[in-house]
Structure 1
Amino acid sequence: MAKLLTIQGGKPLSGRVEVRGAKNLVPKAMVASLLGDEPSVLRNVPEIKDVDIVTALLQAHGVQVEHDRATGSLSMDPAKASKADSAEIDAHAGDSRIPILFCGPLMHRLGEAFIPDLGGCRIGDRPIDFHLEMLRQFGADVQKLPSGIHLSAPASGLRGAKLHLPYPSVGATEQVLLTAVKAEGITELSGAAVEPEIHDLIAILQQMGAIITVQTDRTIRIEGVERLRGYNHLAIPDRNESASWASAALVTQGDIFVQGAMQRDLTAFLNVYRKVGGEFDVHDDGIRFYHSGEALRPLVLETDVHPGYMTDWQQPMVVVLTQAAGVSIVHETVYENRFGFTNVLRQMGANIQLHRECLGSTPCRFGQRNFLHSAVISGPAKLKGTDFDIPDLRGGFSHLIAALAAEGTSRATGLEIINRGYERFTEKLENLGAEFELSRTSQPSFSTTGR
């Protein structure tokens, strides 16, 4: 039976939440443990579904994993790493895209790797063909099978390559890092992503013995080494979850202290937060986010790769902008289909129009491709409760905070998706004073008109 979350809206969220290790770093750091000849320890690990998925995949490959949930510490010993059954990999992977990042480390360790068909949040085009082509550049033999994709390294091992990314993809950059560190020779990646999570992964690999240089022009140079040791690392906090709770404070006219939030990794978000009329106080152990009591202000916003305004911050901020007094414009330049979540907001009473044109300062790569990637938002809107099914991680969180701000009752299904990236979500809602009830339903989901 599916979980049903019934929300009584209209009450400000107030209190404290803790944010632990970044969803966009921790699973990749776990994969990196396969590269070491010794055990690795990762600290500040959140209890989220992606961690469970990678834990199961590592164990399927013979890695001994111990998770101390009380302290958030994860130890991984790859000494007995071995080939896993393809059916077992498929069963554990589910709809996650993380298995693609196992390819390089497994080829270094076992000489081969297998990945099933990949899923993930349906917010835009995330083809794996580019990943596979890069792995071919390292010398991998790639065979597409009915059950998935089999990769094997040549007898002489993988070799360094000179690579260029036409767009600074985070996943592709991670793929290169996890493969190049033990490839023979030098790898040079131009057009790389430089997000904080990338830098934290580089810090982990450097601890293990890797030689990696990040240059100022988005070029990363990796000198391959023969062996790597284990690591002991404290994962950076999840800046996306921090920004999500900050938006929740504004939408519900509340006051939330996010323990673990780091100003350094939220600079672009904090600038927008202040422009729209939010207030925040920076402390050593976190940031307090709150509504000032004055009317929120509209603005023009464009998402971008780091150090720009992150795409994962866009969806909760759109809910904030439905409450701003005036017309706001949001131009999404990272994922072409990320505005599908606005259908539910319109059901709630939001005034949002989607456009195919680039409604930003510069044209983006989606401008001539017929995607609805710009939004015009008029507010403030009086939101009313509705029934909805959670479509993806950030969009789902946005629906939930809109429901918490809306008048009346909302019912949500698909809550399992939220658990992919938000640790102990309902427990945190309860601590913030939200009024809700969690139950079971035989109805698998609510249909959403127009989605």
Structure 2
Amino acid sequence: MNSHLDLDSRKAAQRVGLASDTIVIRGGKPLTGRIEVRGAKNLVTKAMVAALLADTPSVLKGVPEISDVHVVKGLLEAHGVVVDELMPGELRLDPSNVSSAHFAEINAHAGSSRIPILFCGPLLHQLGEAFIPDLGGCRIGDRPIDFHLNALRALGAVVEKLDDGIHLTAPDGLVGAHIELPFPSVGATEQVLLSAVRAEGTTELKNAAIEPEIMDLIAILQKMGAIISVEPNRVIVIEGVKQLRGYVHTAIFDRNEAASWASAALATHGDITVGGAKQQELMTFLNIYRKVGGEFEVLEDGIRFYHPGTPLKPVMVETDVHPGFMTDWQQPLIVALTQAEGTSVVHETVYENRFGFTDALNEMGADITVHQSGIASITRRVPRRPLEQAAVVTGPTHLTGADVRVPDLRGGFSHLIAALAAEGTSTISNVGIISRGYELFIDKLEQLGADFELV
């Protein structure tokens, strides 16, 4: 048993008011109906941190009710930022009285979250120092923070590793630099943006991530007064400015949540309309969805995803950085692929340990073989990468209920989908972890007609 994981899950559940950390699902019933998605977890939390850079308050709209938002709110408040909810989903963030936070406060709010690393740049600008505790997050691979720390060092930060975390100072302030990332890391790109935007001089970032959430963060920073150019070949140029003002912004929708519900519709032979979802940011996913045999209808205010009643087809998927197929999309999709007629192959090239969730699927009756060193193929389009893995999914298979512990955010939602598609009863524990990135998912299950209860 992983006591840290259990504790993290209970805390996450408490933050969003979940009455229990365990759900019993009676599966085999199609999910049908309409649910809404709001702002993306991967943008909203970073936009909240960006408010630290301003001299005046910011207003962020479309904020989802998820555990990670509560974590960032607590961390901001620990540093003296006043966070007010103007109305459901709308936050006002006032950084007028930013101050240092005590280690115990940071640790209490952060828990195993990796969010504190992104506070470094803004706090170095505002206070001249920052502290981050040991970092956690989902157990899906090593996810080293070296990219972050090396970027901060390049910008002039002095990094001191202590027993209980990392202390950073910037005696001469942050200064522009030429930085090239070894991999187009989303987190490291966000780090450079949040740190270089008020640094003295110009920063050129090569091999940057260009995900839609990154573009939305750049739009926010531009509203605040930043000068940021996105150039060809993954190059971002940031011209530092002395001051930034607050922003008013509506967050981009959560494409990961939208894709997860789409996969749930496919796996359960359902029909789900995801309000707030938009076609442009989901084009790569939609292509694969259609190849598998799923149908969708793009509406003015969302996308309808449904199983057409014909057999699903196997596919070959390679995860990659944007504009490729997102790593966060493959886990829910694999559940649907267990019902495709034939053999599908999913190449995971972003994280090295993201197939752990398939053990539970196999216990439920799936036929999934994980190749720890990946699989070479002449049909591959994404270059092979160190530590990549591959999953071979043979279907269709008959899924039956089981007792499952949620291992991580996306894997946990995939277990929910499997339980909903399976015949019989499943008991899923540690569902609090799912609330880190899926807003009001219990309410949405109820809206879609799922047969379940919290215990």
Flag whether TM exceeds 0.5 (same fold). Answer: yes
Determine if the alignment matches structure 1 residue 344 to structure 2 residue 348. no
- The 5-angstrom pairing of residues 303-322 of structure 1 reads 303-322=319-338
Q: Determine the structure 1 residue equivalent to 2:252.
A: 236
- Return the match for 2:211 from 192, 195, 201: 195
Cα distance in 2, alignment partners of residues 105 and 422 from structure 1:
27
Q: Determine the structure 1 residue equivalent to 2:82.
A: 64
Displacement after TM superposition at 1:366 (Å):
4.1
Q: Determine the structure 1 residue equivalent to 2:46.
A: 28
Contact 1:386/1:410 (<8 A) preserved: yes
Matching residue's letter, 1:287: I
Determine if the alignment matches structure 1 residue 301 to structure 2 residue 317. yes
Cα distance in 1, alignment partners of residues 87 and 137 from structure 2:
25
Show CA shifts across 1:40-87 (max 9, x none). Answer: 0000000001100000000000000012452x1010000011111111
- Return the match for 1:185 from 198, 201, 205: 201
Q: Determine the structure 1 residue equivalent to 2:345.
A: 329
- Return the match for 1:3 from 1, 21, 26: 21
Q: Determine the structure 2 residue equivalent to 1:134.
A: 151
Show CA shifts across 1:93-152 (max 9, x none). Answer: 011001000000000001100000000001112111221111111111111111211101
Matching residue's letter, 2:65: E
Contact 2:401/2:424 (<8 A) preserved: yes
- Return the match for 1:38 from 44, 53, 56: 56
Question: CA, structure 1 residues 235+297, in 2 after alignment: closer, same or farther (shift >3 Å)?
Answer: same
Cα distance in 1, alignment partners of residues 384 and 71 from structure 2:
33
Cα distance in 1, alignment partners of residues 32 and 353 from structure 2:
32
Cα distance in 2, alignment partners of residues 187 and 437 from structure 1:
52
Q: Determine the structure 2 residue equivalent to 1:444.
A: none
TM-score (norm 1): 0.95
Cα distance in 2, alignment partners of residues 129 and 14 from structure 1:
44
Contact 2:147/2:181 (<8 A) preserved: no
Contact 2:43/2:251 (<8 A) preserved: yes
- Return the match for 2:370 from 334, 341, 354: 354
Displacement after TM superposition at 1:201 (Å):
0.1
Q: Determine the structure 1 residue equivalent to 2:17.
A: none
Show CA shifts across 1:192-246 (max 9, x none). Answer: 0000000000000000000000011100000000000000000000000000000
Show CA shifts across 1:302-326 (max 9, x none). Answer: 1111001000000011111100001
- Return the match for 1:75 from 88, 92, 109: 92
Matching residue's letter, 1:315: Q
Displacement after TM superposition at 1:6 (Å):
0.4
Cα distance in 1, alignment partners of residues 113 and 217 from structure 2:
19
Contact 2:151/2:179 (<8 A) preserved: yes
Determine if the alignment matches structure 1 residue 428 to structure 2 residue 438. no
Q: Determine the structure 2 residue equivalent to 1:145.
A: 162
- Return the match for 1:54 from 72, 84, 106: 72
Matching residue's letter, 2:269: Q
Question: CA, structure 1 residues 28+276, in 2 after alignment: closer, same or farther (shift >3 Å)?
Answer: same
- The 5-angstrom pairing of residues 131-280 of structure 1 reads 131-154=148-171, 156-280=172-296
Contact 1:359/1:374 (<8 A) preserved: no
Matching residue's letter, 1:314: Q
- Secondary structure at the aligned position of 1:269 is classed as helix
Matching residue's letter, 1:340: G
Cα distance in 2, alignment partners of residues 405 and 55 from structure 1:
36
- Secondary structure at the aligned position of 2:393 is classed as strand
Q: Determine the structure 2 residue equivalent to 1:447.
A: none
Would you say how many aligned residue pairs link Structure 1 and Structure 2? 434
Contact 1:161/1:187 (<8 A) preserved: yes
Show CA shifts across 1:317-353 (max 9, x none). Answer: 1111100001111111111111110000000000011
Matching residue's letter, 2:67: K
Matching residue's letter, 1:23: K
- Secondary structure at the aligned position of 1:249 is classed as helix
Matching residue's letter, 1:216: P
- Secondary structure at the aligned position of 1:227 is classed as coil
Matching residue's letter, 2:92: S
Determine if the alignment matches structure 1 residue 386 to structure 2 residue 407. no
Cα distance in 2, alignment partners of residues 359 and 430 from structure 1:
43
- Return the match for 1:106 from 112, 123, 129: 123
Displacement after TM superposition at 1:34 (Å):
0.3
- After the TM superposition, which parts of structure 1 deviate over 3 Å for at least 4 consecutive aligned residues? 362-367
Matching residue's letter, 2:162: L
Q: Determine the structure 2 residue equivalent to 1:285.
A: 301
Contact 2:318/2:382 (<8 A) preserved: no
Cα distance in 2, alignment partners of residues 278 and 382 from structure 1:
19
Matching residue's letter, 1:125: D
Contact 1:330/1:359 (<8 A) preserved: no
Displacement after TM superposition at 1:364 (Å):
4.4
Cα distance in 2, alignment partners of residues 148 and 375 from structure 1:
36
Alpha-carbon RMSD across the aligned residues, in angstroms, is 1.1
Contact 2:182/2:207 (<8 A) preserved: yes
Cα distance in 1, alignment partners of residues 170 and 189 from structure 2:
20
Cα distance in 2, alignment partners of residues 271 and 130 from structure 1:
32
- Secondary structure at the aligned position of 2:21 is classed as strand
